[in-house]
Amino acid sequence: MAIRSHDCRCIALTQLETALRLYFEGSDFFSVITLAGNADEIFGKIVKAKRRESSLDELKKAVAAMYLHLYGEELSQNAVAERANWARNAIKHGIGETPTVAFDAEEEAKDMLNRAIQNYWVLESWLTPAMEKFQRESVTRVQHIG
């Protein structure tokens, strides 16, 4: 077996594209969360290395600011990050001795895909066809709600 070098960006892109395919199939949101979560983390680290703000960093700041505005109390950015990554970490590591976890897998998958795509956009300034389809469907869903 030959050991070869693999570009982390390419790995993350492959994982994100696979996550999008699974999402559109609607059959395995747990794998979508895991794959998109890993892509989000890799792209996020590359974004930070370029001295830009990752999607998670933006989310942490925004939620903490809204919480302060609404409740007059500070919410730590670490608490926001823990919540944002809760489903991914629950799938990845399990939750102690409890044999089950409760969350909306489809919504968590959408959130993780959005974060990964946002980081990809910051790095590349273009989207793949699957990313464009996801974004179009996300906007369409929001328009139908409003």
Tell me the per-residue pLDDT of 28-57, one tens digit each, with 9 for 90 and over. 999 999 999 999 999 999 999 999 999 999
Q: How many domains does the chain have?
A: 1
Of the chain, the percentage scoring pLDDT greater than 90 comes to: 83
pTM of the model: 0.89
Give the length of the chain: 146
Q: Residue 3 domain-assigned?
A: no
Per-residue model confidence as pLDDT tens digits over 107-121: 999 999 999 999 999
Closest CA to 10 of 50, 36, 39: 39
- Residue 85 burial (C-beta neighbours within 10 Å; 0-12, 13-18, 19+): buried
Residue 13 has pLDDT above 90, yes or no: yes
Rounded to 5 degrees, φ, ψ at 95 are -120, 90
**In whole numbers, what is the pLDDT of the chain averaged over residues?**
92
The verdict on residue 60 lying in a domain is yes
Mean pLDDT along residues 121-140: 94
Q: Show the domain range for 116.
A: 9-141
Query: Do 33 and 101 touch, CB atoms closer than 8 A?
Result: no
Distance (Å, whole) CA 12 – CA 54 = 15
Query: Are 16 and 117 contacting, i.e. CB atoms less than 8 angstroms apart?
Result: yes
**Position 1 in a domain:** no
Task: List beta partners, residue 98.
Answer: 95
Has residue 146 been placed in a domain? no
Residue 137 lies in a domain: yes
Give the C-alpha separation, 74 to 72, whole Å: 7
